[in-house]
Amino acid sequence: MSFALLFSGQGTQHPAMLPWLADDPLVRRTCAQLGVDDWRRALADPNWAERNDNAQTLLTGLALAAWGQLAPMVPSPAAVAGYSVGELAAFSAAGVIDPATTAALAPRRAEAMDRCAARAPGGLLAVSGLAEQKLEQLRVEAGLELAIRNGNASVVLGGPIAALDDAERMAQAAGAQCTRLRVNVASHTPWMREAAESFSLALAEVPFRAPQVVLFSNAGDRIRDAKSARAALAAQIAQTVRWDECMENISARQVRCVLEVGPGQALARMWNQRYPAIPARACDDFRSADAIAAWLNSHAEP
């Protein structure tokens, strides 16, 4: 079997996510980090769920736990990537950082980003349905930066709140589809440069290893050694996530299916729209780990 493993970003977290996830030591450690007894009950409070520090810590810990519970049941993936904060879990799944260290890094990443946001409040706006040239014109006129590129006509713009408000009005007037993401920082833009530098210092204290499986970064490049892994994980905080290139690189590995680990089905949906001949499913689609493993195994080589 040849499959790719994708780790979701934040913004679609919800109390019913990962319905099959067992309450293992990593889940309990994540709850202790957050000071909550029940993470599902905590997510039911939108104010709690949308806080950057809560979301990044919770989603990283749960993604690590989910893959830890699935990994013994399936072969190693042929390729791994993570979307935004999902890169933390992806790098761990690829063997670059151990799970416990990765879980401890998530709140430090969020803290660095929140410090930037406190000085320059911002956010993210998903825009689709406009030609690439129109999207770029909108970005420039609104004074925003390109945070995430999912495709030529599907992007996420980031920047100050007032600029996002202007961009949303302009985009809707032009007939675009807009969604304000449930984040309160201008992730993956120059407004997060200090956060990237701060997180780089935190990563310098952490032992890194070369990936044990093929690993792609949000910069669209393959990570081949510990040094480039450390640099990429910090830099992506303030640089554009080139997810379209990430998907192209994974497709080139000729995988037979794709599994998204995390909340929602956003990455699986994007993949299926782009590569309909290669099926993608999300962990949120299943009621048990056994069912996920069975689906992956059903795409084994004959």
Tens digits of residue pLDDT in 158-195: 999 999 999 999 999 999 999 998 888 999 999 999 99
Tell me the average pLDDT of the chain.
Answer: 95
Tens digits of residue pLDDT in 123-133: 999 999 999 99
Tens digits of residue pLDDT in 28-60: 999 999 999 999 999 999 999 989 999 999 999
Sheet (strand 215-216) strand order: 222-223, 215-216, 79-82, 3-7, 257-261, 280-282
At residue 302, does pLDDT exceed 70? Answer: no
At residue 300, does pLDDT exceed 70? Answer: no
Kindly list the structural domains of the chain, giving each domain's residue range(s) and its CATH number in brackets, ordered by start.
3-118+189-297 (3.40.366.10), 122-180 (3.30.70.250)
pLDDT reported for residue 301:
59
What is the mean pLDDT of the segment spanning 233-242? 96
pLDDT reported for residue 120:
86
- How far is 149 from 189, CA to CA, in rounded Å? 12
pLDDT reported for residue 220:
72
Q: Which residues contact 100 (CB under 8 A, 6 or more apart)?
A: 29
**φ/ψ of residue 37, rounded to 5:** -85, -35
- Claim: this prediction has a pTM higher than 0.85: yes
pLDDT reported for residue 125:
96
pLDDT reported for residue 123:
95
Sheet (strand 177-180) strand order: 145-151, 154-160, 122-128, 177-180
Tally Cβ neighbours within 10 Å of residue 82: 32
- How far is 52 from 48, CA to CA, in rounded Å? 9
pLDDT reported for residue 279:
97
pLDDT tier at 219 (50, 70, 90 boundaries)? confident
pLDDT reported for residue 183:
86
pLDDT tier at 1 (50, 70, 90 boundaries)? low
Tens digits of residue pLDDT in 67-119: 999 999 999 999 999 999 999 999 999 999 999 999 999 999 999 999 999 99
pLDDT tier at 24 (50, 70, 90 boundaries)? very high
At residue 153, does pLDDT exceed 90? Answer: no
| Structure-model confidence comparison of residues 69 and 299, the more confident one | 69
pLDDT reported for residue 23:
96
At residue 205, does pLDDT exceed 60? Answer: yes
- Angle between helix 86-93 and helix 99-119 axes, rounded to 10 deg: 160
pLDDT reported for residue 101:
97
What is the mean pLDDT of the segment spanning 231-247? 96
